[in-house]
Structure 1
Amino acid sequence: MVTSASPSASSSSALSSAASSALPSPLPPTAEAVVRAYTERHGTAPTVLARAPGRVNLIGEHTDYNDGFVLPAAIDRDTWIAAGPRTDRDVDALALDESGAEDRFTLSATPPHFEGGGWRDHVRGTLAQLVPLMAQPVGLNLVIAGDVPMGAGLSSSASLALGLLRAAQQITGDSALNGKQLARLAQQAENRFVGCQCGIMDQLASAEGRPGHALLIDCRSLDTRPVSLPAGTTLLIAHSRVKRGLVDSAYNERRAQCEQAARALGVPALRDATLEMLAGVQLEDKVFRRARHIITENTRVLEATEALQAGDLVRLGALMKQSHASMRDDFEITVPAVDQLAALLQDVAGDQGGARMTGGGFGGCCIALLKKELVPQALEALERGYRSPEGLPALVYLCEAGPGAQAQAWPVGTAAAGTIAA
């Protein structure tokens, strides 16, 4: 049967722009688990508790690193981090979701890579971005856990990075860096250390999400605009169970092809190109189709924003269907299992919503924006019509749009010390 996972509790009122916004009360089990594990490991309570959400992208795939437009929403699935300062420059990290795996390294702007990479490289690379900004680098004790599915295209790595940055910011007691600046640091960690040449959408959505809203992001200026999701709708995310890994996939190849097309067109990025310009140059077929996807996808994002604002689910559904076809045929980042999921959900949505692949591609999830009364029908269709290549049912998450990354002193009311230079 279709496996459905309930979202963790999260705040529905706190704004994401404040690092010290109140966290949910009561705390969800994952948050309690990291606090308990920290206390057991270090013999004292953490001084900071941080959370940062995953995200789902409604429309606008691979447009972010082309300086284009995207329309993601932070979701009520989070990475939680219990943290405290050390008296040396070491970082002691424990990942509960990785069977209690550990890491220990010295805080540095150029830390060594961990053999095998994984979550440890994300921690090392993210904290490395802060070191040049620290007046006096402070070591950290960290316990990490979350319910953002890994390898599903829901930005578990961005969630981890923003949680780490918010925690470090709270420990230093310095809020000089805003959400956009923290998102840039998290992106730098991916680009410069982890090795994935991603854009900034994932990190900025995690940093600045708004409850009940998607976020229109101009990935050149980093201007953001909250876009209210229609009343009576829900975000249904269906995981194909085909895991994806952006560094090992053709993600970086797609970026290089886009940059090649931009050079041929004589524009800074494909955000500045038009279909008429594209028709006037000679490009290899694959490069031509990559560029066509980006150009048309940017237009679809802006039109989808207008459709959401007008409550026009018919138009939104058509745009999401066109987006999926473009990702399948021009950008070639879908796989048969994901195409099957999208078709099933599009049939259910009809003219009351839409569905498409979401994330970097090569596996992962589909997103459907549906009227809530259609959810039982969607679950039935997925149960009846979908099995992964290994014969497993779809893993379904029913989500709401939630707030961005937050951190606060823990226990509540205690003070943190230290500074990060502005």
Structure 2
Amino acid sequence: MAAQLPIPVFTSLDQAFPDLQTAAVQGVRYKEVVEEYEKRFGHKPTYIARAPGRVNLIGEHIDYVLFGAFPAAIERDILIACGPSLPSSTSGAAETLTVGGVRAENLNPKYAPQTFAPMLKTAGPSAQEEADAASTVHAESAWHLDINTRELRWESYIKAGYYGVLSRFFPAALAETDKQAHPVPVDLLFTGSVPSGSGLSSSAAMVVASTLAFLTVNNKLDGVTKGSLVEMAMENEKRVGVNSGGLDQAASVICTPHSALYVTFYPKLDAELIPLPTPRTSPRAVFVCANSLVVSDKVVSAKWHYNLRVVETLVGARVLANKLGITLGPNERPTFRVILSRWLGAPESGLDADGLKVGIERFLPEVEKLRPPREGRPAGEEGVTLDEMVELSGLSKEQFHKVYLSWVEVETEYFQLYKRARHVFTEALRVIEFREVCLRANAASGELPEDTLVKLGELMDQSHESCSTLCESSCPEVDALCRLAKSAGAFGSRITGAGWGGCTVSLVAEDKVGEFIQKVKEGYEPYRALEGEKLREAIFATKPSAGAFGELFVALLLDMCSCWGQ
């Protein structure tokens, strides 16, 4: 299985990027980060750790109810040049040569240099630590680093990556008695091409790359599989307040060139590599990511947006279980995926994709039981009030609040249980159908017909319509971008990521990309003034993990750049 494979380690750029054109382009970039590292720290880096962003091709807002999704790694990535700090380092050496000390800098001047060090916990929490407990995450380990989750800074993601390495590989008993068990001081230089806040998982890429950097510099990479790195990165990202289900990390770690992942979450996290047909279709196709430039402040808007969707789906699962005669305990909080399995009488080990498809198709008519009566509510309103929702749950107000509202803040007049359920089950079905199209294409020989792209595009269009009207996780600007993409020739276009802004992903013929981007630029008002690099940051084509971009770690020969970028 892909998750059991070791983390790839390369010793030259042509191993990491088999396509010579890609290797030449990346060679210039790697050369820049290596040379700048030496200027800043006074010595050459030992390694470059790399983690790509990801685009979710289909399967939005269903991972937290434990249905599968279909992400792919993208060519945009985070690079970290890294190595042990040396006494001859330039300014900052005194700080970084403390036990496990870190000096982190970024090629982007927007991000200020940072110096910090972990501390061994030899006593209980200080008064200041207790006072900050509500907003600071502390490691449940021998080591301590502050991460203020109320004001996330770029170094917060570095610290999050460091925590997992400290906790797993530097236990307290050894650290207190054996200096060899201490983490080494580290110099890090970051550069990245994943747009932040765009829904392409720049934060997950930062945490994955940081985790890899600390593993490699401390010689702890042996025995670490792709699956264990996913688990570490998931746990690490929780330290910045992100309760991830593993979708982003799995895509960033496990994907391979020209493939996507069918990621499932029930009864446990699993990932299946699925070859994409796009390199063999006529015409060949790529995915184009377009940033709406609308940023949704997830902290501020969560009670109306993301957190509300989570609560609506969880309550919807209980209400539907009641209507189907499925008995639940008063403290249970099952998801739609769990209710489906209980209704089907499926074993806890779960169903394969074919069995799940049949099960969803059988179950879909039952979702209509969540549609409320029209009497007594505004025309067209399909939601229920809080009082109605509590009554439908079969719980007392006190128990309902304990199970569904005590841990999260939400705010709305009408809770859309029916719409959210309809989105979840139809989207889960589309993910399986997308997978089927890819597998049928992979089983066929020779060049693939354009109809393959048409079928994938239709599923993407249906997904966006559902996200916009049933999940209601889109926004006018994203809807406009999808319409523009279709009119500009895309086979399909949809929102990707958490939503309420962020990016769209469109399936486009490779030989039409330039024309496509120009048409979108002319039609989307926020793009009209963008030129050059600013436009390329906003809208760009990508091949999933093309040129081995799914490989996450590159061992750096000290003269690796001598033949590139000259």
TM bucket, shorter chain: 0.7 to 0.9
Distance 1:261 1:98, change over 3 A: farther
- Aligned match of 1:262 in 306, 312, 317? 317
2:257 alignment partner AA: P
Q: Does 1:333 align with 2:479?
A: no
- Aligned match of 2:288 in 233, 236, 255? 236
1:400 equivalent in structure 2: 543
For 1:17 and 1:369, locate their aligned partners in 2 and report how far apart those are by CA, in whole Å.
31
1:247 positional shift: 4.1
- Aligned match of 2:369 in 280, 301, 305? 280
2:74 alignment partner AA: I
1:388 positional shift: 2.7
Kept in 2: contact 1:227–1:305 (CA 8 A): no
Kept in 2: contact 1:214–1:229 (CA 8 A): no
Distance 1:123 1:256, change over 3 A: farther
- Encode CA deviations 1:114-165: one digit per residue, 9 max, x unaligned: 5731212111122112221113341422111111111111111111111112
1:198 positional shift: 3.0
- Aligned match of 2:270 in 213, 222, 238? 222
For 2:224 and 2:543, locate their aligned partners in 1 and report how far apart those are by CA, in whole Å.
27
Gaps of 5+ in 2: 18-22, 86-96, 120-138, 171-180, 322-327, 341-362, 373-382, 385-414, 442-451, 561-566
RMSD: 2.8
Distance 1:406 1:373, change over 3 A: closer
Distance 1:186 1:390, change over 3 A: farther
For 1:314 and 1:145, locate their aligned partners in 2 and report how far apart those are by CA, in whole Å.
37
1:20 equivalent in structure 2: 9
1:406 positional shift: 2.2
Kept in 2: contact 1:17–1:208 (CA 8 A): no
- Encode CA deviations 1:48-97: one digit per residue, 9 max, x unaligned: 11111111111011222222211111111110001123452222211222
Gaps of 5+ in 1: 1-14, 415-422
1:321 alignment partner AA: D
Within 5 Å, give how 1:50-129 maps onto structure 2.
50-86=49-85, 87=97, 88-107=99-118, 109=139, 110-114=144-148, 116-129=151-164
Kept in 2: contact 1:237–1:367 (CA 8 A): yes
1:153 equivalent in structure 2: 199
Distance 1:254 1:118, change over 3 A: farther
Distance 1:163 1:330, change over 3 A: same
1:399 alignment partner AA: T
1:133 alignment partner AA: R
Distance 1:275 1:171, change over 3 A: same
Kept in 2: contact 1:216–1:227 (CA 8 A): no
- Encode CA deviations 1:186-237: one digit per residue, 9 max, x unaligned: 222333x222333211111000111112222123332322222322111111
Within 5 Å, give how 1:203-214 maps onto structure 2.
203-214=249-260
For 1:390 and 1:397, locate their aligned partners in 2 and report how far apart those are by CA, in whole Å.
15
| Larger-gyration structure (1/2) | 2
Could you say what secondary structure the match of 1:388 adopts? helix
Kept in 2: contact 1:321–1:356 (CA 8 A): yes
1:361 positional shift: 0.6
Could you say what secondary structure the match of 2:197 adopts? coil
**Larger relative contact order (Cα-Cα within 8 Å, sequence gap ≥ 6):** 1
Could you say what secondary structure the match of 1:333 adopts? coil
Between structures 1 and 2, the one with greater helix share: 2
1:381 equivalent in structure 2: 519
Q: In terms of mean alpha carbon deviation, does 303-312 or 204-213 score higher?
A: 303-312
Distance 1:227 1:342, change over 3 A: same
Within 5 Å, give how 1:242-321 maps onto structure 2.
242-250=294-302, 251-264=306-319, 265=321, 268-272=334-338, 273=340, 274-281=363-370, 284=384, 285-311=415-441, 312-321=452-461
TM-score by length of 2: 0.65
1:409 equivalent in structure 2: 555
1:338 positional shift: 0.6
Could you say what secondary structure the match of 2:430 adopts? helix
1:309 positional shift: 3.2
For 1:31 and 1:66, locate their aligned partners in 2 and report how far apart those are by CA, in whole Å.
40
Q: Percent identity?
A: 30
Could you say what secondary structure the match of 1:69 adopts? coil
For 2:51 and 2:5, locate their aligned partners in 1 and report how far apart those are by CA, in whole Å.
9
Kept in 1: contact 2:274–2:439 (CA 8 A): no
2:89 equivalent in structure 1: none
1:327 positional shift: 0.9
Could you say what secondary structure the match of 1:84 adopts? strand
1:382 alignment partner AA: V
- Encode CA deviations 1:332-357: one digit per residue, 9 max, x unaligned: 2111111001111123346xx21111
TM-score by length of 1: 0.85
Distance 1:211 1:389, change over 3 A: closer
- Encode CA deviations 1:239-298: one digit per residue, 9 max, x unaligned: 112234444442333233333333443574223434344333578342332232222111
Could you say what secondary structure the match of 2:16 adopts? coil
Between structures 1 and 2, the one with greater strand share: 1
For 2:508 and 2:36, locate their aligned partners in 1 and report how far apart those are by CA, in whole Å.
38
1:261 alignment partner AA: G
